Amino acid sequence: MIAFLGTGLLGANFVRALQSRGETVHVWNRTASKAKALEQYGARAFDDPADAVRGAERVHVALVDDAGVDETLERARAGLGQDVVIVDHTTTSPVGTGERVARWAARGIRFQHAPVFMGPPQALSATGTMLASGGSALFETLKPHLEKMTGTLVYLGPDATRAAAMKLMGNHYLVVLNTAIADTLALAKGLGVPQEEVAHLFEFFNPTTMVQGRLSRLLTVDYTDPSWTLAMARKDVRLMLEGAAAGHASLLAAPAIAAAMDQWIASGHGAEDWTVITKDQLR
């Protein structure tokens, strides 16, 4: 039997997928109606997390944050058997994750952090990506079960905090990417270009192909052989800001970037590669 604590959008679809593969699943959620709704798919809902986990071989967790995970697991502790494995899919802090793994290990309970790059549809269809880090023996034990829950399972090594760090880094990129897309749409509005035409830009301009090159460039920390000087890049950012303002549109990222550019130009770096503005971050 498997217990699942946290049946929001992601957790609920994980449970439905587990049920579809013939697993017996006990569920709990802080809002009891969300757990109860899964009984139509064969799950059994409980009002107390300790009752939900009693007799489980694995306890999966998908909650909001570190505090929620800690509080819920403390409530469930009385029902946990000594042979149980806790698998936490929550996006949590690396520090909190490391402390949690150590705390449960001291109690004789194995704990695997396995955050995901998935939305609810991917949880239901067992696609997307799941990360894991920590002791290799535990990972190898769980691997056959976790592989059934995802399209790609990535083991990141023995550091129990590494999956948490990688998940935050990936989510950061998604936040920045979404902001870039929104800013591009806003700039289109400012320039008088129909926003639906923005999609056409990315039919012939594919910035994703530049990621590895940009990463390599930044890691070299060499700004003396510019492909795009800071002064020229600042001019383009000025044109972006002016274009957006002319159409009464606002940009989120460009003003902050412009301010950083101005500081580095004032310090005499205008002829260097524009990525010099990241220098202090990469030291």
pLDDT digits (tens, 9 = 90+) for 48-71: 999 999 999 999 999 999 999 999
Q: What is the chain's percent helix, strand, coil content, to nearest 5?
A: 60, 10, 30
Distance in angstroms (rounded) separating the CA atoms of residues 143 and 8: 24
- The DSSP call for residue 274 is G
Domain 2-157: which CATH class?
alpha beta
Q: What residue type is 12 in one-letter code?
A: A
* β pairing state of 110-113 and 116-117: unpaired
Helix (H, G, I), strand (E, B) or coil at 41: helix
Start and end residues for every CATH 1.10.1040.10 domain found in the chain = 166-282
Residue with tokens 């079960």: 145
pLDDT band at 44 (very low <50, low <70, confident <90, very high): very high
- CATH hierarchy code of domain 166-282: 1.10.1040.10
pTM of the shown model: 0.90
Calculate mean pLDDT across residues 99-111.
98
Q: Does the pLDDT of residue 138 top 90, yes or no?
A: yes
User: φ, ψ for residue 199 (rounded to 5)?
Assistant: -60, -35
pLDDT band at 173 (very low <50, low <70, confident <90, very high): very high
- Per-residue confidence (pLDDT) for residue 211, from 0 to 100: 86
Tokens of 124: 């239901």
- Per-residue confidence (pLDDT) for residue 222, from 0 to 100: 83
Q: Name the strand (E) or helix (H) holding 263.
A: helix 254-266
Beta carbons within 10 angstroms of residue 77's beta carbon: 14
pLDDT digits (tens, 9 = 90+) for 231-240: 999 999 999 9
Start and end residues for every CATH 3.40.50.720 domain found in the chain = 2-157
Beta carbons within 10 angstroms of residue 218's beta carbon: 16
Average pLDDT along the chain: 96
- Per-residue confidence (pLDDT) for residue 219, from 0 to 100: 86
pLDDT band at 215 (very low <50, low <70, confident <90, very high): confident
pLDDT digits (tens, 9 = 90+) for 118-132: 999 999 999 999 999
Helix (H, G, I), strand (E, B) or coil at 55: coil
Q: Does the pLDDT of residue 18 top 90, yes or no?
A: yes
Inter-residue contact 78 to 52 (CB < 8 Å)? no
Closest alpha carbon to 126 in 35, 13, 2: 13
- Per-residue confidence (pLDDT) for residue 208, from 0 to 100: 85
Calculate mean pLDDT across residues 143-164.
98
Distances (CA, A) of 14 to 123, 151, 235, 255: 5, 13, 49, 41
- Per-residue confidence (pLDDT) for residue 213, from 0 to 100: 84
pLDDT band at 172 (very low <50, low <70, confident <90, very high): very high
- Per-residue confidence (pLDDT) for residue 75, from 0 to 100: 98
Calculate mean pLDDT across residues 171-177.
95
pLDDT band at 163 (very low <50, low <70, confident <90, very high): very high
Q: What is the DSSP string of 238-260?
A: HHHHHHHHHTT---SSHHHHHHH
Closest alpha carbon to 227 in 160, 170, 276, 180: 276
- Per-residue confidence (pLDDT) for residue 259, from 0 to 100: 97
